[in-house]
A = this chain, B = another copy of it.
Amino acid sequence: MDWGGTWTRTAVINRQGEILWQAREPNPQNGSKEEYLANAEKLLAVAIQQAGGPVAGIGAAVAGPVEPTTGTFYQPPNLMVLVGVSFKALWEKAFDLPVWVGNDANLAALGEHHFGAGKESADNGRPVKTLFYVTVSTGVGGGLVDKGSLFLGANGLTAEIGHTLVDTSDSALACQCGSRGCLEAMASGTGIERIAKQKLASGGFSDSALAALNIDSVDSAAVFDAAEKKDPLAVSILDSAVSALSIGLTNVVHLFNPDMIVMGGGVTDGLVKLDLLPRIQQGIRDRAMSELHKEFQLTTARLGDSVGLAGAAALVWEQLGVSN
C-alpha cells in the first residue's frame, strides 16, 4: 500500500518487484479516523484477494513520519486524524499477516535500491553499497539505504534533506517547517512557485513572460516552461534551485558517503528536461573534499509513480530476509 495525502494505492507485488495487480482510490474527504481505517482495510482485503495465493506480508508507505518498529504515525501533515495509530498492530490482527510500515520517501529509497536504479546498476556489474534518494516534488524528502537496508536512526526520521540548511544568509526564505533557508523552501515545487510570485509581486521583472500571466496561475510548471524559453527570471529562479540542491547534496555526500544518488519527483523531471542534473553533479564535485567523495553516480528514479508501492514491497522482502 502507498497511502498518500490524496490517493491510496494498493498492489500485489512479487519478490522480483513486479506489479501483478494494482488499484488506486481517492482518500475519504475530511474523513474520520474510522472512515480512513475502514477504507484502508477494505483496499487491503481486495489486494489480498487479488493475490490469488499465499501472501508473504503487508508493506505500507505512508506520507508522514512513522515509528519504524510499531508503524505508528507521529504527526502526518495530511492525515492528522490518524496521529498515534499503529497500523502494524491493527492490520496484523485484521489479516493475520506480518505488517511493516515506513515513511514514503524512505521506502522510495528502498524501492529504487532493490527494484529501480540500484538494481539496474547491480545488473550492470556495479552493485550499490549506499544509496541516497531525494524526491524533489511538492516538498523535498529523502531516504538512505545502506547495504540493502533502510537507515532509520533513532526514530525513523532520517534523510530529511528538505530541511537541511542551504541558505545561511540574512535574506534566507522562510520554510513551512518554521525554520529559514531550508532546501525545501528553495527547490520544491511549492518553493519555486512562492519565489516566482514574490519576485513578480516585487515588480521589476516586466521583461519576463511570467509577468504577463495572471499571478494566480504562476506555478512551478509555468517557471519550467518559461525557463525552457530562456526567460531570465525563470532561469535565475531555477539556477538558485540547482545551487541549493548542489549544496544540500554536498552535505549528504560528506555525511553519508553514498556511491549512488537517485533523484525523483516532478521538479526533478523538469530539471532533467532542461539538462540541469549535470550542473548539480558538478556543483557537488566542486565542493567535495576528496576524490573518493566524488565517486558517486547521480541518476534519476526509475520507478515513477510506483516507487512507493515498490518500496513497501521491498520492505516486506527485506524484513522477511528473502532476496530477489
Whether A154 touches B168, Cβ cut-off 8 Å, given contacts A179-B287, A251-B251, is no
Tally of chain A residues near chain B (CB < 8 A): 50
Least CB separation from A160: chain B residue: B254
Cβ 8 A contact of A255, one of B146, B164, B259, B295: B164
Quick check: is A250 within 8 A (CB to CB) of the other chain? yes
Interface residue SS majority, chain A:
loop
Question: Mask for A158-170, Cβ within 8 A of B = 1, else 0?
Answer: 1111011111110
A255-B155 in contact (CB<8A):
no
Q: For the complex, what is the distance from the CA of A27 to the CA of B65, rounded to whole Å?
A: 50
B74-A160 in contact (CB<8A):
no
Quick check: is A257 within 8 A (CB to CB) of the other chain? yes
Quick check: is A75 within 8 A (CB to CB) of the other chain? yes
A160-B289 in contact (CB<8A):
yes
A160 contacts which chain B residues (CB < 8 A)?
A: 254-255, 257, 289, 293
Quick check: is A213 within 8 A (CB to CB) of the other chain? no
Q: For the complex, what is the distance from the CA of A146 to the CA of B256, rounded to whole Å?
A: 13
Cβ 8 A contact of A74, one of B74, B259, B290: B290
Quick check: is A153 within 8 A (CB to CB) of the other chain? yes
Q: For the complex, what is the distance from the CA of A319 to the CA of B178, rounded to whole Å?
A: 42
Cβ 8 A contact of A251, one of B152, B164, B289: B164
Quick check: is A268 within 8 A (CB to CB) of the other chain? no
Q: How far is the CB of A135 from chain B (nearest CB, A)?
A: 15
A257-B287 in contact (CB<8A):
no
A163 contacts which chain B residues (CB < 8 A)?
A: 254, 289
A288 contacts which chain B residues (CB < 8 A)?
A: 179
| Chain A residues numbered 52-100 whose CB sits less than 8 Å from any CB in chain B | 65, 74-75
Whether A146 touches B153, Cβ cut-off 8 Å, given contacts A167-B168, A177-B289, is yes
B75-A290 in contact (CB<8A):
yes
Q: For the complex, what is the distance from the CA of A161 to the CA of B256, rounded to whole Å?
A: 10
| Chain A residues numbered 246-261 whose CB sits less than 8 Å from any CB in chain B | 247, 250-252, 254-259
Quick check: is A190 within 8 A (CB to CB) of the other chain? no
A165-B247 in contact (CB<8A):
yes
| Chain A residues numbered 214-252 whose CB sits less than 8 Å from any CB in chain B | 247, 250-252
Q: For the complex, what is the distance from the CA of A179 to the CA of B250, rounded to whole Å?
A: 11
B255-A255 in contact (CB<8A):
yes
| Chain A residues numbered 11-63 whose CB sits less than 8 Å from any CB in chain B | none
Q: Residues of A at under 8 Å CB distance from B?
A: 65, 74-75, 129-130, 144, 146, 151-161, 163-169, 177-179, 181-182, 247, 250-252, 254-259, 286-293, 295-296
A-B CB contact pairs (8 Å), 24 listed: A75-B291, A129-B153, A130-B153, A152-B257, A153-B256, A153-B258, A154-B257, A154-B258, A157-B290, A157-B293, A160-B254, A160-B257, A160-B289, A163-B254, A164-B254, A165-B247, A165-B250, A165-B251, A168-B181, A169-B169, A179-B250, A179-B289, A182-B289, A255-B256
